[in-house]
A and B are shown apart, each in its own frame.
Chain A
Amino acid sequence: MLFQLAGKNIWRNRRRTLLTETSIVFGVLVIIGSGNFINGMQRDWAGFEINANTGAFQIEHHDYQALGKSEPLLVTLENSAKLVESLSRIPGIRSAYGKLNFSGMVSSGHKSTFFDGQAVDVAGQRKTLTRQEDLIISGRPLADAPGGIILGADLADTLDIRIGDPVTIVVRTFYGGLNLTYGTLVGTKNGRHFPSSTYLEMPLSDAQKLLRVNDRVSQIVVGADDFDAIPALMQRTAAVLRNDKTGYAIRGYPELIPIYAQAIASFKVISVVVGLVLLLLVGGGIGNVMAMAVMERKREIGTLRALGMEKNHLRRLFLVEGLMIGGIGATVGLLAASALTGLIAAHGGIHLPPAPGTSQSLNIIPRMDLWMSGFGFLMPLLVSVIAAWWPASISANLSPVEALTET
């Protein structure tokens, strides 16, 4: 009965109701849409980095973060091949490979400079980082054959060398002596994870021989297919490694991707602030509509009060009207945001060009974010009720005589 009456009242001034609903729908659409966009961006960004750079997570010596910069070879993992093999057997892990971080001097024969190197198990990397090739600027990725070298694009420019040119690498070995090897530049690459001006990549077996560190790696990079199952997979892996006496540290992709966690947190805060501003505007609109309704319907209120309608009943009538306006707007907004999200996703998402200094473009496919959807749906309802409260109280407190005699 109350809902029917409220519905009829809303329908009476259709133009005003439509304007109010439009503002609510727009507000809800922006809040849920931006939440879905950020959710999609978060997943696609993480997905790209996981498959091109970091893997789902990495396992390293527990002292690597403390000593890895000054003495990277002293905090390496021994018997890495066996460890990779045992990790690969854990359900949920697609593949794993070892990488070794080191530094030294690289020379073109005319110029020399320092490098920060990364030696990788080429076959394992190919299976684990399926988008690794996206980072290649020129030439090709490392092949299984020894002797290939990949340089950061800026480092290759500094040395003034081209694909196919020879390079000389000098390093300090695990034991402290100097060692030297020759290689051929097969490719240049660029990425957000390494400084292009110092990056050097070479096959793991070549580097282990050069550095005289048989079967040692700095990290084991783990690949997984199910993005949402990564936290559980990390826990399972930690449980397996706990039995080993070597102290391991496991670092997940949010920690491995530079500024990832901070960027996502910032985006979330921005979207919530934008949502709150929109809700204030929406709340103001609903309050205005309800206040106008009370002003215009004073004689009607007086009649209802004269016929014996209780104050609380009258207050509830206006609150239900506010709730219905908010509910319709929130529902339509949620449906519109979901439809728009699905439509953009079906058309391949939003393509973002590469950031300055990088070569990787990003394709963002928006995805439903349950938290932001809930926030975007429930907040208009709450705001509608709060905004309708004041006009509802005014209407309830009107005396029937005053209301009927007012012109």
Chain B
Amino acid sequence: MRTPQKIGAHAARSLLLVVTLLLTAGIPLDSAAEQLTPLQILDRADDKWELNLRNATVELEFLVYRENALRKTYRMILKYQDTDHVLVETIFPPRNEGEKMLQAGRRNYWLFLPNINRAVRVSESNSLSNSDFSNTDLLSPRLSNEYVPKLLGIEKLHGDEAYKLELTAQNESTPYARIIYWVRKADYFPLRRDYYTFSQQLLKRLDMKASSPDMSGPDTFVMSSVLEQDKKTVIRYLKRTPGKAFPAETFRESALMKR
């Protein structure tokens, strides 16, 4: 005979099993998501950005605006292996053709200039092609490696509920001292980053969006500077070819000049 205690224990076990099955199947549960730690939220947002790129070749367009007018257009091929190994090669305009930016490990950035056939080491905070992006902004999207997140709350951004995270740099060698990061609550899509300097001044703002609902992560990035009014840089992914396996030599500084 089943006692009420036995019936209660069975029901509890059944509920636990259903919840476990639902979580394993990846069905989002609001109540479960709210229990994610700030680091887990940040990791998922990082995944949204990075999984689009990992082991892929991406052709991207780089539009530099000054005083609200388009001043420069670049096209680049980005070969992305992982968060520490990236090669960007400029293919347009002809004047800059052949210029390469290499990330050959964490904080190991190289700029190759074909005119002088030399590779020079550059800082991760250096500007990428004289734009509003620094090297690290585009090439190292995994913020969870560098920052300690803290959840400030949930607020509406562009009509969506978003987690508002405060990321604090783990050490002073990180380009930005603090980043305020908005991540869409429903699917952890990265929406906006505000970058702050060590003097706690806002330096620039990055807005991200997907050009089509099929995209799982952002493919359009708009970086606005607070230093100058009406100044921004837009990056758009034009074509993505996933499933690429790059030879290890692709990401070696010594091989830059051979290509």
Report whether chain A binds chain B: yes
Using CB atoms and an 8 Å cutoff, list the residues of chain A in contact with chain B: 105, 107, 109-112, 168, 170, 172-173, 175-182, 210, 212
CA distance A181 to B227 in the complex (A): 11
List of B residues within 8 angstroms of A179 by Cβ? 177, 197-199
Contact B228 A178 (CB under 8 A): no
Contact A111 B174 (CB under 8 A): no
Contact A175 B172 (CB under 8 A): yes
Residue in A109, A175, A210 whose beta carbon sits within 8 Å of that of B227 in the complex: A109
Q: Is B171 an interface residue (CB 8 A)?
A: yes
Contact A170 B175 (CB under 8 A): no
Chain A facing B: main interface SS: strand
Q: Is B61 an interface residue (CB 8 A)?
A: no
Contact B228 A111 (CB under 8 A): yes
A175 touching B203 in the complex, CB below 8 Å, given contacts A105-B227, A107-B228, A109-B228: no
Q: Is B169 an interface residue (CB 8 A)?
A: yes
Chain A min CB distance to B1 (Å): 70
CA distance A65 to B160 in the complex (A): 55
Sampled A-B contacts (15; CB under 8 Å): A107-B227, A111-B228, A170-B197, A170-B203, A170-B227, A173-B198, A175-B172, A175-B173, A176-B124, A176-B172, A177-B174, A177-B197, A178-B203, A180-B197, A212-B198
CA distance A179 to B177 in the complex (A): 8
List of B residues within 8 angstroms of A170 by Cβ? 197, 203, 227
List of A residues within 8 angstroms of B67 by Cβ? 110
A110 touching B199 in the complex, CB below 8 Å, given contacts A172-B123, A177-B176: no
CA distance A153 to B88 in the complex (A): 38
Chain B min CB distance to A155 (Å): 15
**Chain B: CB-nearest residue to A169:** B227
Interface string of B101-129 (1 = CB under 8 A from A): 00000010000000000000001110000
CA distance A253 to B228 in the complex (A): 40
List of A residues within 8 angstroms of B198 by Cβ? 173, 177-179, 212
Contact A177 B203 (CB under 8 A): no
CA distance A210 to B198 in the complex (A): 9
**Chain B: CB-nearest residue to A211:** B198
Counting chain B CB atoms within 10 Å of each CB, the highest count among A178, A179, A212 belongs to: A178
Q: Is B201 an interface residue (CB 8 A)?
A: yes
Chain B min CB distance to A103 (Å): 11
CA distance A176 to B199 in the complex (A): 14
CA distance A107 to B66 in the complex (A): 13
List of A residues within 8 angstroms of B171 by Cβ? 175
Residue in B173, B203, B227, B229 whose beta carbon sits within 8 Å of that of A176 in the complex: B173
CA distance A267 to B123 in the complex (A): 45
Residue in A105, A112, A176 whose beta carbon sits within 8 Å of that of B174 in the complex: A176
Counting chain A CB atoms within 10 Å of each CB, the highest count among B134, B201, B231 belongs to: B201
List of A residues within 8 angstroms of B173 by Cβ? 175-177
List of B residues within 8 angstroms of A177 by Cβ? 125, 169, 172-177, 197-198
List of A residues within 8 angstroms of B175 by Cβ? 176-178
CA distance A172 to B123 in the complex (A): 9
